[in-house]
Amino acid sequence: MSATLLINNRSYETRVALLENGQCVEVYVERHKQMSLAGNVYLGRVARVLPGMQAAFVDIGLPKAAFLYVSDVYYEPEDYQWDSEAYPNEAGRGGHNSRIELMLREGQEIMVQVAKEPLGNKGARVTSHVTLPGRNLVLMPTIDHVGVSRRIEDPIERQRLRSLIEELRPPGIGFIARTVSEGQSPDKLAAEMDFLRSLWDSIQRHRQTSAVPGLLHRDLSVSLRAVRDLFTREVDHLIIDHEGEYGQVVEFVATFMPRLLPCVELYDREEPIFDAYGVEPELARALERKVWLKSGGYVVIEKTEALTSIDVNTGRYVGGYNLEETILKTNLEAVREIACQIRLRDIGGLIVIDFIDMEREENRERVVAALKEALTQDRSKTNVLPMSPLGLVEMTRKRVRSSLVETLSEPCIYCEGMGLLRDPTTVCYEIFRTLEREFNDAGVEAVNLMVHPAVAEVLLQEERLALEELEAKLGLTIYVVPNQALHREHFELRPASPDSPPEPGPGPDVDAL
């Protein structure tokens, strides 16, 4: 499989795209006025301890306090005075059996790392178990553990890496061997281990002099993170369209992965890099609610507060002679597109997929197996449950940052995220009820009714008789004034003189009834 990593850098924004066999599969966007927070290390202050939730809010200098779960708290037991009678089983270094009110107190200083960016109305989620990723290793200074990436499948290589790290690491400090560490020499791993330990020592020194709340360590920029995490031996080319960023990336690659230096290229053509490689159409497609399949079927992706729902439909695809076979083919084609869209859009949290109902149990199992297989290319951790009798598949995907849709868009200011508007007839009837409430025996002879042109058209045509009856009932002259600037659901009522009709505005002609 050929892969290409593209970096589009401008003064206002950096975009990174990973292409596999010419298809865009991952996109990362970082706006320079709103830098990513995930991975940053802060010295914060505990703002509130919540024993009932076994969590705490920590002020790290952001508009909203960060959320810290009890299982994410690191502490040294000798720093605390334990009440052995009240809590006879509470001892040790953190974990699910410890109570947060015994570990933290309001006003206490605590070093934390952002594990999840602020999403929607929620603040950042933080942990005091800091992790510092390098090219080949991840340092875990608060956890005594050695791990190996699950993507390294060779048992002999897994054992080699585990034994090597056990031999090199200091006591009490944990490391994880990343996927790219496969086949690396002991000298290279030892050098990176020393580098990460030096970085941790630097953070500890900075903590001694930092203000509270304050930033102790900022993670790499999106372009260097992409080089660190995505630029592997499977990537044929790393292409950058900005000379300054190209220089930084070359320096980074020369330091940590010199063998891949010949793969780094500077893009100097006139056509924008994302246009030249077909990324822009994929980005536009990733923002759409409906995604068409090649067969004529389609997938509908909708985000709600609690979960993301994905619905599979046959659409224009009619198949051959067998209904079950038609449905199976549509579901299997949808599986590949769903896995691609989840990865491209960076959808996280709970995901519910509504496949087209299949009668045969073996076909259901086949679709679920195909989904799990398609998700193996995803670097984010996923968990897929068996298909329910209703044809639903529940799955989860680790969420760290906002999804692509959340990054590039915002809820509609007109429908406030509902995705629906009241139709003009409904607005007309709401206007009638408002007129009855506000102008019954009000002593007003005439009123200017300012509405959107689409509503004005219904008032003056389909609902003309109802409007005349209302005028007669209220003894009121109503001037309908179209106003293109108004939201279609909004209207304004202003007392007017019956001898001075308003000037016609944009839209249908004004009609004094």
Q: State the pairing for strand pair 392-397/382-384.
A: antiparallel
φ, ψ for residue 200, nearest 5 deg: -65, -40
How many Cα atoms are found within 13 Å in the side-chain-facing hemisphere of 433?
A: 6
For 187, residues 6+ apart whose C-beta sits below 8 A from its C-beta are none
DSSP-assigned letters across all residues of 175-204: EEE-GGGTT--HHHHHHHHHHHHHHHHHHH
Q: Three-class SS string for 403-450?
A: CHHHHHCCCCCCCCCCCCCCCHHHHHHHHHHHHHHHCCCCCCCEEEEE
SS3 of 37, please?
coil
> Is residue 89 a contact partner of residue 134, using CB atoms and an 8 Å limit?
no
Count Cβ atoms within 10 A of the Cβ of residue 223 and give its class: 0-12 exposed, 13-18 middle, 19 or more buried. Answer: buried
Q: Identity (one letter) of the amino acid at 229?
A: D
Distance CA 173, CA 166 (A): 10
Token output for 357? 């109902």
Token output for 277? 């490689």
DSSP state of 220: P
Q: Which residue has 């306090």 as its token pair?
A: 65
> Is residue 444 a contact partner of residue 493, using CB atoms and an 8 Å limit?
no
Residue 48's CB is within 10 A of a number of other CB atoms, namely: 12
The pLDDT value recorded for residue 274 is 92
> Is residue 447 a contact partner of residue 480, using CB atoms and an 8 Å limit?
no
The pLDDT value recorded for residue 420 is 79
The strand order across the sheet containing 146-148 reads: 132-133, 137-140, 174-177, 146-148
SS3 of 71, please?
helix
SS3 of 457, please?
helix
Q: Rg (Cα) of the chain, in Å, rounded?
A: 30
Identify any residues that bridge with 26 across adjacent strands, giving them in sequence order: 18
Token output for 23? 């298809």
| Tens-binned pLDDT, residue by residue, of the chain (513 aa) | 688 999 999 888 899 999 998 889 999 988 877 788 889 999 999 999 999 999 999 999 998 999 999 989 986 544 333 333 434 444 444 444 578 888 899 999 999 999 988 877 788 999 999 999 998 999 999 888 999 998 888 999 999 999 999 999 988 889 999 988 988 889 989 999 999 999 999 999 999 998 999 999 998 888 998 898 888 877 889 999 999 999 999 998 888 888 889 999 999 998 999 999 999 988 888 888 899 998 888 999 998 888 999 999 887 766 656 788 888 889 999 999 999 999 999 999 999 999 998 888 999 999 999 999 999 888 888 999 999 888 899 999 988 778 888 888 877 777 777 777 889 999 999 999 999 888 877 678 889 999 999 999 999 999 999 999 999 988 889 999 999 989 888 999 988 876 655 655 544 443 433
* Cα–Cα separations (whole angstroms), residue 318 to 284, 297, 325, 354, 367: 28, 9, 10, 19, 19
Whole-prediction pTM = 0.76
∠ Cα 240 241 242 (to 5°): 100
The pLDDT value recorded for residue 426 is 92
> Is residue 477 a contact partner of residue 445, using CB atoms and an 8 Å limit?
yes
